[in-house]
């Protein structure tokens, strides 16, 4: 009886305890359900934070265009392949979300990117890893490769989307354009990669190009997969603004090709060239060697510096252009007056003409300019006095930056303290300049005395509104000489090219009158002393054409070329002549009517039958490259009305079955016609002529496809010279 009573009491106590516990729990649940709070926390917000994901919506970097709207640098989408290894992400065994067969997966992936199957399999079997990637081999995949891998339906294989900077022209004004690099940054506790400019336009105009990333917040499950009834909050990204340069891609290509040829033949330590519009100061083309590929940075370790802006040097006899102009302005230059050439005494020192001071006897001052006589310049300096000439150097703005919108511009220096320094400054020795200063000064000669500031930025366009937010107009920065002096200076400089003993004779261009001045400047070695030897000079030429109304100024310099019984003008003229001639013809500057120009103006073949077009091209003396087997023409390059230069290829696109031609041996200029007519995206490496192409001959091509070509230089100096001779013969 006692035990029974105790059991009933215990049961009652347990019942009351459980009832009380249930009541407390029920009250707690009811309170939480009613108020949505627990321990002072909003449970709804806590849950939202736990399952809310925030991802960055990457802004598209602004595009860099040439003056005609041709793309120079743009963002393209690439993908990184990743593999999920953790089985916990799979909720339905019938549809696995992780890698289930490493051997099969590795075998298939090895077909699509350059990584050994065994190495891929090792990564797929990595113990304890939630997710793995495949290094550089698995990055930068194109959308077409991504789609092919997706079609294989491999469980656990996913892709990470990334933006990649694409430079379709490869080595193309590389030190001007610069490059970008992925820089790690922290956003909301996550480490992400951000594209930032590291050099040139890409770096200097980062604030315009970079854009502003957006973000998306959404609810997901434990593994990050989107829930069916998810909430999304989107803040759209603001894409970067677009920069239009003054660079003209056609002229830039002429320049790059010429520099490539000279690099192959003469292997100079350094070379550079600029093409400027004489009346405005627009830089239409600029480049240098050594250079680099902005996409791969291959070659960047050789020379990081933009030599056309950051490098100061002694210009040599091209400086005589400005000494001559000052003397004419001061009225002390009489072209027919005689003087004794050879040597000029400056205190205990003697200035010598470049033929070891032998001179040419009594000659006129005009002949002295033609022969590039140092003594002639010394005499002219004495007549106008050193103080007056010093003012002209300042009026031409030597010794001060041009202010071109590029970083780290060198100012150069005018070395003018002692009588000998004053005399040597008159013929370009001792004092230093940068290439843009020389171009700026030359615009005063070519533009009726008005000196134009050089510039490379045409405009910047807001991506959202399409309106100009920056616009550059031609700017007159001085008028150091009169119009009459400029005209007389050009007339004298023309004789440097046309006279029998003129040092500029190698720069004669059939059909166009060229005015200009040669230069042979000494180079300073590491020990601070001038180098000696036949090749150890900076050979240069500053030329403008047509002489009567100059359209273009072309300035070329080649340092320490490996000459083979040739003068220093040989490599320089192989850059200046084709660039000036092709650029003038491309700009439709009419040649002298007395000269028969070997160019043809194409008619419109679009819509005509292929056979009819082929016959018409044959009458022009041109064998076109015909793309496709269609019976009608849908596109042609060059287009109707454009001039076709001798030796160039004409490309014709038919209505169907486009296939890739064999481009072996083509110049990059002709390759660009294929990409333009078929809408391909071009990337190339190397210099010289096409040695290989990623799209095989006769394989189908389609718009948007990426074309990669490898260029190679001729195999020897003899081969290079022979090729150059053939090109020269064709251009005569």
| Catalytic residue annotation | 317
Q: How many other CB atoms are there within 10 angstroms of residue 21's CB atom?
A: 10
β-strand partners of 186: 191
User: Strand order in 232-235's β-sheet?
Assistant: 52-57, 214-219, 232-235
CB 656 within 8 A of CB 232: no
Please tell me the distance from the alpha carbon of residue 487 to that of residue 328, in angstroms, as a whole number.
10
Please tell me the distance from the alpha carbon of residue 333 to that of residue 325, in angstroms, as a whole number.
9
Please tell me the distance from the alpha carbon of residue 720 to that of residue 728, in angstroms, as a whole number.
12
Please tell me the distance from the alpha carbon of residue 92 to that of residue 89, in angstroms, as a whole number.
9
**Tokens standing for 417?**
């303290």
596 to 510, 512, 698: CA distances (angstroms): 9, 11, 39
589 to 258, 546, 551, 592, 723: CA distances (angstroms): 20, 8, 8, 10, 28
Angle at 21 between CA 16 and CA 24, to 5 degrees: 125
**Tokens standing for 270?**
């350094």
CB 542 within 8 A of CB 519: yes
For tokens 């180098």, the residue is 531
**Tokens standing for 500?**
């029998």
DSSP 240: P
For tokens 């590795």, the residue is 106
Spatial CB neighbours of 31, under 8 Å, sequence gap ≥ 6:
none
End-to-end alpha carbon distance in the chain: 133
Among candidates 687, 642, 696, which has minimal Cα distance to 669? 687
């Amino acid at each position: 009886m006692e035990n029974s009573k105790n059991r009933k009491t215990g049961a009652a106590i347990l019942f009351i305890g459980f009832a009380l516990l249930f009541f407390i729990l029920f009250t707690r649940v009811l309170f939480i359900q009613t108020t949505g709070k627990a321990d002072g926390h909003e449970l709804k917000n806590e849950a939202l934070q736990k399952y809310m994901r925030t991802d960055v919506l990457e802004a598209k970097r602004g595009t860099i265009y040439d003056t005609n709207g041709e793309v120079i640098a743009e963002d393209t989408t690439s993908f990184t392949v990743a593999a999920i290894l953790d089985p916990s992400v799979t909720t339905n065994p019938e549809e696995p979300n992780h890698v289930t067969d490493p051997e099969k997966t590795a075998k298939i992936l090895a077909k699509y990117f350059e990584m050994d199957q065994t190495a891929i399999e090792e990564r797929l079997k990595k113990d304890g890893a939630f997710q793995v990637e495949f290094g550089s081999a698995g990055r930068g995949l194109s959308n077409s490769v991504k789609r092919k891998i997706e079609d294989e339906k491999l469980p656990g294989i996913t892709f990470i989307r990334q933006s990649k900077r694409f430079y379709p022209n490869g080595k193309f004004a590389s030190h001007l354009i610069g490059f970008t690099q992925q820089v790690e940054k922290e956003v909301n506790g996550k480490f992400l990669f951000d594209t930032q400019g590291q050099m040139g336009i890409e770096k200097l105009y980062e604030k315009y190009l970079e854009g502003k990333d957006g973000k998306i917040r959404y609810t997901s499950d434990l593994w990050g997969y989107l829930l069916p009834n998810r909430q999304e909050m989107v803040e759209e990204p603001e894409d970067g603004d677009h920069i239009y340069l003054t660079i003209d891609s056609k002229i830039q290509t002429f320049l790059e090709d010429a520099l490539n040829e000279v690099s192959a033949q003469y292997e100079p330590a350094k070379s550079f060239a600029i093409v400027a519009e004489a009346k405005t100061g627009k830089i239409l083309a600029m480049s240098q060697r050594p250079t680099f590929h902005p996409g791969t940075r291959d070659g960047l370790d050789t020379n990081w510096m933009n030599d056309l802006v950051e490098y100061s040097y002694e210009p040599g006899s091209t400086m005589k252009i400005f000494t001559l102009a000052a003397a004419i302005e001061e009225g002390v230059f009489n072209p027919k007056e005689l003087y004794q050439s050879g040597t000029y005494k400056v205190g205990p020192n003697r200035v010598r003409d470049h033929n070891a001071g032998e001179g040419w006897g009594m000659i006129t001052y005009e002949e002295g300019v033609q022969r590039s006589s140092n003594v002639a310049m010394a005499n002219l300096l004495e007549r106008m006095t050193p103080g007056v000439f010093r003012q002209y150097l300042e009026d031409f703005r030597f010794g001060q930056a041009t202010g071109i919108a590029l970083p780290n511009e060198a100012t150069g220096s005018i070395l003018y303290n002692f009588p000998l320094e004053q005399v040597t400054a008159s013929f370009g020795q001792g004092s230093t300049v940068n290439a843009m200063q020389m171009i700026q000064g030359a615009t005063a000669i070519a533009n009726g005395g008005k000196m134009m500031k050089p510039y490379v930025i045409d405009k910047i366009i807001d991506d959202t509104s399409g309106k100009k937010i920056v616009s550059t107009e031609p700017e007159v920065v001085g008028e150091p000489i009169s119009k009459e002096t400029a005209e007389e200076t050009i007339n004298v400089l023309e004789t440097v090219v046309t006279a029998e003993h003129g040092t500029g004779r190698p720069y004669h261009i059939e059909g166009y009158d060229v005015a200009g001045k040669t230069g042979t400047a000494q180079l300073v070695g590491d020990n601070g002393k001038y180098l000696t030897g036949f090749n150890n000079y900076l050979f240069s030429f500053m030329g403008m054409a047509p002489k009567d109304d100059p359209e273009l100024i072309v300035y070329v310099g080649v340092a320490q070329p490996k000459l083979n019984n040739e003068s220093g003008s040989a490599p320089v003229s192989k850059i200046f002549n084709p660039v000036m001639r092709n650029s003038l013809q491309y700009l439709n500057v009419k040649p002298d009517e007395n000269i028969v120009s070997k160019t043809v103006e194409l008619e419109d073949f679009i819509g005509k039958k292929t056979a009819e077009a082929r016959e018409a091209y044959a009458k022009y003396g041109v064998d076109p490259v015909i793309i496709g087997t269609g019976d009608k023409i849908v596109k042609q390059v060059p287009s109707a009305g454009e001039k076709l230069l001798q030796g160039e290829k004409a490309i014709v696109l038919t209505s169907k079955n486009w296939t890739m031609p064999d481009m072996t041996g083509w110049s990059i200029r002709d390759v660009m016609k294929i990409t333009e007519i078929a809408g391909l995206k071009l990337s190339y490496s190397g210099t010289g002529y096409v040695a290989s192409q990623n799209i095989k001959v006769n394989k189908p091509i389609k718009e948007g496809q990426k074309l990669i070509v490898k260029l190679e230089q001729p195999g020897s100096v003899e081969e290079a010279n022979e090729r150059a001779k053939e090109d020269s013969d064709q251009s005569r």
